[in-house]
Structure 1
Amino acid sequence: MYKPLTTMPLLFLAASAFAQKQATTEKDSLQQKHLGEVVVSANRRPVTLDHVPSSVTILSKKTLDNNMAVTTDVTDILAREVPGMAPGAQTNSNVGQGLRGRSVLVMIDGIPQSSPLRNGEVDLRSIDPAVLERVEVLKGATAIYGNGATGGLINYITANPTGDKPLSGKTSVNMTGGLVGLKNSVGGRFGQMLQGKSGKWEYMASGVYEQTGEYKDANGELVGPNYSLGETETWNGYAKAGYHINSRQKLQLMYNFFRSQQNSNYTLVNGDIAKGIPATGVLGKTAGTPTGSKGNHNVHLVYQADSLIGATSLTADAYFESRDDIFYVSFGRFEGGDGQSHTLDKKKGLRLMLNSPLLNRGSFSGNISYGADLLNDITSQPLVDGRVWVPEMNMLNYAPFAETQFTFWDNIILKAGVRVENVGVKVKDYTTLQLTSGGTVVSPAIAVKGGDLNYTAKLFNAGIRYNRLPLFMPYFSFSQGFSVSDVGLALRDSKVNDIRKINTEAVLVNNYELGFVTEHKGLRFELSSFVSTSKLGADMIFDPNTGLFNVSRTPERIYGFEAAVSYSVLKNLDLSATYSYLEGKADTAKTGGSYNVYLNGRRIAPPKITGTVAYRPLKDLEVRIQYLGVQGRDRFAKNAKGVYNGNEGAVKAYNLFNFAASYKLNPKTMFTLGVENLFNEDYFPARSQWFMQPGFYAKGRGASFNLGIAITY
């Protein structure tokens, strides 16, 4: 039997975070599957969820579809569905939307979309959710796919062909718009999918196009256009083909293209934070190139063979990723005139993994997974006009790994593994760009000698889970994560003439988790707690004297807990709720234990509450109410100017409700209606509040609708 090929087998179970699974079935009933029935591949080797002694949240196809009836913004979907995920800001940038206070590694079928070398924080919007089968989220530091996942990883699993017909498909059409200030807010979406199976072949092809109208706030006023998803054009092309060589071997090829750019008819009008006046826009041509993802290409080839010598299985894959993400124009900041930067990133990778049984004697069984990953990542951040801001960084990463898993008496699961990272980064000689603020030079141009940066790290993980009693299934894990920690940011802000003098030391994170799961009939409850420490941080600290953000490399300690409950009250009524709490401090004096300064809003999100009521009054009708409550957070004092420093603004609480309904007219036709911000809450998203940047001090979207029809055949 073939294992799912959507991700590579288990490289090294991310010894990671505690927490929580919210997987729903693909049946009409929304009752959750038992843990032993849910197969996940976020571990790279597909296993059932009750064999994972760490935190995993699964967003099933049904969960994605329910959310897409309201919005296709995957950053908003993740914020509502994943405990520990910071709230989004309805923009094409995910600045500050980390996982448990640290960076998250985003992947598509195991292909890294994030670039730790120069983290532009735009990686969450890498693919359209319509082509996904599910999303797997591992929370807590992990090294399962290499460097960058100090807070966890998000793996977008693309869809596979279903059914046995040589040709079947689905066509969907949606109309969107604001319920307050309808003028110019109407947009649309069209999707077409075809799939089939014939003999040893199977295929799927999909195309999605979406154009949004203007985003309006609760008062019908234009939402500030800086990175707004209003007036945005999105394309996604997807294809996958598989060939069953024989009963034991399969070959699969996937390609995905994603582009999402804003073409606004407005120029930005900065907000006034002190007076509570939001950023907005006035009619006029936007300067520079449209912001957003100009193009994200992913190619993935996978070969899998089962039942080789000694019942060993083999998975080998190769991938290529290329992306170009464009940022807004900075006026009066750069030497030589205004500038607009973009991150260019190309990755090529090879992976090989073998899995062999170790023993299978009665109540004892075990296996070992072993292999190696090879990754070449070339990243830079030039200005669109060709000036060099961040020079090209050429990274070669080689990492062998091994991990064992044992099961005792069917109830005790024990895992332990090691991964060895060997990273080399080559940088040529370059000259930094002179930066100014208010006409004053705050960072002079410096000629910097290039060279090689080398990193090595041995990363360990271990975890245990006990499933004997459904009312109390505890687990504990220890895991380590590793990241080269935004080398590009350090290089572009260099104050010295040699890269060897720049503090580019990698971040090593230790993550400890303790939690338990309770299951009884239609009830499921999970409570998890964690502590995450690192001797070297990467916090963005605002300097009010220069107007620039600098990286603070001080020891950090982050801790928190999450609770999640779901209950099938009746066959046609399901309830669920979550609560997430997070806190973090830095040891600025580097005393080795005195964590004296709070980490800012860019790192630590305020407490978050979510809730969902799903009701099916008729067999073919389902209605859902979804709640998101972002609580307040106020940790910092105002500066001498009477305002908060950047990233330190106080967050005032807000409460949002979404409504979604779906009606199946017949087995092939489905109507959906979604209302975002049902009660038209007038609010500023958390990021708008803590960021303290006038251009990003924008309100959230007011009440808006999404009306759709989908036809399958």
Structure 2
Amino acid sequence: MRRIGSTLFILAAAFSASAQQKIKKDTVSLGEVIVSASRKPEVLDKVPSSVTVVSRKTLERDLTITTDITEILANEVPGLAPSAQTNSNVGQSLRGRSVLIMIDGIPQSTPLRNGEVDLRSIDPAVLERVDVLKGATAIYGNGATGGLINYITLTPKDAGAISGKTTLNLTGSLTSPKNSLGGRVGQLLYGRIGKFDYTVSGVYEQNGEFKDAKGNILGNNYSLGETESYNGFVKLGYEPARRQRIQLMYNYYSSQQNSNYTLVNGDFLTGKPATGVLGKQPGEPTGVKGNHNLQLSYQADSLIGGTSLHADAYYTSRDDIFYVSIGRFEGGDGQSHTLSKKKGLRFMFSSPLTKMGSLSYGTDIIGDVTSQPLVDGRVWVPEMKMFNVAPFAETEWTFLDNIILKGGVRIEKVKIGVEDYTTLRITNAAGGTVTPSFAVKGGDLKYTATLFNAGLRYNRFPLFTPYASFSQGFSVADVGLALRDAKVDNISKINTEAVLVNNYELGFVSKYKQLRFELTGFVSTSKLGAEMVYDVNTDLFNVARTPERIYGFEAAVQYSPLHNLDMGASYSYVEGKADTGRIDDKYDAYLNGRRIAAPKIGANIHYRPVNGLEVGLQYTGIQERNRFVKLPSGLYKGNEGIVKAYNLFNLNASYRLTKNALVTLGVENLFNEDYFPARSQWFMIPGFYSKGKGRAFNIGIAVNY
């Protein structure tokens, strides 16, 4: 069973050791709802825009079902496109645009060559919460044209000298258990000694084979079946004086597939899913080979005149490996990987202006080196060296105790240097030339943009709390994609103009006793688009730079009718069109499935019938989206496939055996829905036309001490 036996031995040994230790209460908790919706932490009720906070409690519930953060967020965040249940988050847009992924404010995304694998950057077990800010924003820099997702890592609160948590899980398929068993072990230690605090965590997970509702192997292009994942996390804090803190954080994450199967392509026309047959998988294991994040930060809240300072320096590097392209490149098969290294320095001062207002101001500096070579050394996308300086200022005013006004400005200055390079000759299945190889003269690409944001919120009446906002986002789009598919001999001739997005949002929150309802409408416009269009004839992706308009709405309700019963539901709808210039109507063509997700319904219920027992049911429904006309072949144009509706239910339950020992059970796809995830449907590419997971289980135990 390919190392499963040894994994289970490790799990059993770890449990035996942890069960003999003295148990203490786990004191890591979310606490007050503070979010990173601006450059300084603020209370959620003061934010004049739509923010979803996935709390520690919610993460722990969802982890009893799945550890895939792309699936967790898709189930919890209205406006985020469905998960494809793979290592790749291709098409998992936020409100139809790209999302910037961060860990404690450190950018994980690679907008210079967007491989769309950045959602899986850290194990959710070390997260305190996830802040999702929707709509274009420039507060953290380049790449957040659809919003940002900030993974906030654990920090101990009110802990003793040593506390900890040991978790053990056994996973597998309920439709065909053979070779599907997997395991997970996690160890968390944290504490506070005088002015010093620490958090240390290690997680290891090995998945067995993933099966569909009929018990068949899922197609293994980026599948999370047969993957091994590691996460090591350390956070050290020191408070030299009252209201000052120095903090050092390091996180390492790796998740790669080691499959015993080779791919058997699917067929969209016949409905045949991609699957696998026994055999050696070509190339290196796909997935996150290594993602490193190192951050040193300093915070002081007691400077002259009440001014506070928050400064940090960080370094991050990641290596993401993609599948082998058979016969695509001159010289044989090719397997690419994106390499990205970032160094950043940021500082921000926050000063009170009056009793009603404050001003925050600072500068972000970042150096980013990104490339996409083949693993054998051939250059597909050359190194792009970006240097970005961005001064910014934000102000907040409170009038009559209930009117909150915010505004800000950010100036982006970006320079990207590219050396002379030679494109790779791209071939078709017969070995013929699709694009020739030729020399391209390098040079510098420069961008300057001034971005604004403003928001207003009125908190006088809990029954109706309206808000409105305008914000702008900036992205250099996918420069690497343009470079690798260059058809000209000089990068100055390549259309690499940056994308500037305007986001308009209007919404309200209504609270009555144990009921909370929020409704948000939005419009997002840009003069340039960054849509990648797949050409079935050339097997290439090209960037379509056309004006775009995206719009939609989101509704979410939470209700606790009893002290032991919590319920929630949400609905999100997004639509988008581009102006292709074909007809007088300004926006005449729908954006495809890679950009615009089908409507999504979410619901959950959590019931605690007796002390120590909780049972929950989670529902995610993906609705139909049918906007495009079939080709004579019966296929659709690239990324335009019809998305047919499907409905997924997940069960989670927990029972407290003792004061500090919790047993958990999760059942994914409870009713064993036989379906193709939305991406498989609109993507249509034979190697990715894979079904979703069938019914699967996750049994675990957590011991706090």
- Given that residues 660 and 672 in structure 1 are in contact (C-alpha distance below 8 angstroms), is that contact kept between their aligned partners in structure 2? yes
Tell me the residue number matched to 1:250.
245
Alignment of 1:434 onto 2:425: yes
CA deviation string 1:631-668 (max 9, x = no partner): 01111111232211220100110000000001111221
Find out whether 1:105 has 2:111 as its counterpart. no
Tell me the TM-score normalized by structure 1: 0.94
After superposition, the Cα gap between the structure-2 partners of 1:275 and 1:449, relative to the gap in structure 1 and judged at 3 Å, is same
Separation of aligned partners in 2, 1:653 and 1:268:
26
Question: Hey, what does 2:620 align to over in structure 1?
Answer: 628
Give the match for residue 258 of structure 2. 263
- 1:230 aligned partner, one-letter code: G
**Equivalent residue for 1:645, pick from 637, 643, 652:** 637
Distance 2:503 2:384 in 1: 29
**Mapped partners of 1:204, 1:44: distance in 2:** 24
For 1:71, the equivalent position in structure 2 comes to 66
Q: 1:534 aligns with which of 519, 526, 548?
A: 526
How many residues end up aligned between the 2 structures? 679
* 1:281 corresponds to 2:271: no
Q: CA–CA distance in 2 between the matches of 1:234 and 1:175?
A: 15
Name the CA distance, whole Å, in 2 between partners of 1:195 and 1:137. Answer: 26
Q: 1:374 aligns with which of 365, 376, 392?
A: 365
CA shift at 1:302, angstroms? 0.5
User: 2:190 is matched by which residue type in structure 1?
Assistant: Q
> Is the Cα contact below 8 Å between 2:465 and 2:510 reproduced in 1?
yes
1:188 equivalent among 174, 183, 186: 183
Q: d(CA) in 2 for partners of 1:661 and 1:256? A: 30
- Residue 41 of structure 1, CA deviation: 2.4
Provide the rounded CA distance (Å) in 1 between the counterparts of 2:421 and 2:433. 19
Aligned partners of 2:566 and 2:607 also within 8 Å: yes
The amino acid of 2:555's aligned partner reads: A
**In the alignment, is the contact (CA less than 8 A) between 2:26 and 2:165 conserved in 1?**
no
Match of 1:390 among 373, 381, 384: 381
Residues in 2 aligned to 1:235 and 1:544: alpha-carbon distance in whole angstroms: 37
The correspondence for 1:403, drawn from 394, 418, 443, is 394
Contact residue 392 and residue 410 of structure 2 kept, 8 A = yes
1: CA distance, partners of 2:428 / 2:148: 37
Give the letter aligned to residue 454 of structure 2: A
Aligned residue for 1:17?
A: none
- Structure 2: which amino acid aligns with 1:334? F
Which residue, out of 476, 482, 491, partners 2:474?
482
1:665 aligns with 2:660: no
Q: CA offset at residue 676 of structure 1?
A: 0.1
User: Which AA in structure 2 matches 1:485?
Assistant: A
Moved more, 420-429 or 547-556: 547-556
Q: In the alignment, is the contact (CA less than 8 A) between 2:582 and 2:588 conserved in 1?
A: no
Correspondence for 1:216? 211
Residue 420 of structure 1 aligns with which residue? Answer: 411
Q: Does the aligned pair in 1 maintain the 2:26–2:163 contact within 8 Å? A: no
Q: Which amino acid aligns with 2:408?
A: G
Question: How many Å apart are 1:592 and its aligned residue?
Answer: 9.3
> Within 2, Cα distance between the matches of 1:405 and 1:394?
36
Q: TM-score, normalised by structure 2?
A: 0.95
For residues 568-602 of structure 1, what are the alpha-carbon distances to aligned partners after superposition, in whole Å with 9 as ceiling and x for unaligned? 11111111100000100000118896100000000
Q: 2:590 aligns with which of 587, 591, 598?
A: 598
Q: How far apart in 2 are the matches of 1:168 and 1:546?
A: 58
1:695 to 687, 694, 701: 687
CA–CA distance in structure 1, aligned partners of residues 65 and 564 of structure 2: 21
Residue range with higher mean Cα deviation, 662-671 or 126-135 = 662-671
Written as runs of structure 1 = structure 2, the 5 A alignment for 1:562-581 is 562-581=554-573
- Residues in 2 aligned to 1:669 and 1:203: alpha-carbon distance in whole angstroms: 23
1:19 is matched with none
Gaps (5+ residues) in structure 1?
1-25
Counterpart contact for 2:90–2:117, Cα < 8 Å? yes
- Is the contact made by 2:473 and 2:502 (CA closer than 8 Å) also made in structure 1? yes
- Per the TM alignment, residue 267 of structure 1 is displaced from its structure 2 partner at its CA by 0.1
Equivalent residue in structure 2 for 1:52, among 36, 39, 47: 47
Matched, 1:467 2:465: no
Distance in 2 between residues matched to 1:591 and 1:378, nearest whole Å = 41
Instruction: For 1:405, give the aligned amino acid.
Output: E
| Paired AA for residue 574 in structure 1 | D
Structure-2 separation of matches of 1:627 and 1:168: 35
d(CA) in 2 for partners of 1:481, 1:593: 26
**C-alpha spacing 1:88/1:410, structure 2 compared with 1 (3 Å):** same
Q: Shift of the alpha carbon at 1:537? A: 0.3
CA-to-partner distance for each residue in 1:342-393, whole Å, 9 max, x for gaps? 0000000000100000101xxxx11000010000000000000000000000
- 1:561 counterpart residue number: 553
Which region of structure 1 is more displaced relative to structure 2, 569-578 or 349-358? Answer: 569-578
Q: 1:138 aligns to what?
A: 133
Structure 1 Cα separation of the partners of residues 243 and 149 of structure 2:
29
Does residue 288 of structure 2 align to residue 293 of structure 1?
yes
Residues 180 and 218, structure 1, Cα contact 8 Å, conserved in 2? yes
Q: Is the 8 A contact 1:534 1:555 kept in 2?
A: yes
> Which whole-Å CA distance do the structure 1 matches of 2:452 and 2:443 have between them?
30
Contact 1:554–1:590 at 8 Å: present in 2 too?
no
Q: Find the aligned partners of 1:655 and 1:64 in 2 and give their Cα distance.
A: 22
For the residues of structure 2 that align with 1:248 and 1:262, how far apart are their CA atoms?
A: 45
Q: Secondary structure at the match of 1:649?
A: coil
Q: What percentage of residue pairs aligned between the two structures are identical?
A: 70
User: How far apart, CA to CA, are the structure 2 residues paired with 1:533 and 1:41?
Assistant: 24
Distance 2:107 2:310 in 1: 18
Gaps of 5+ in 2: 1-24
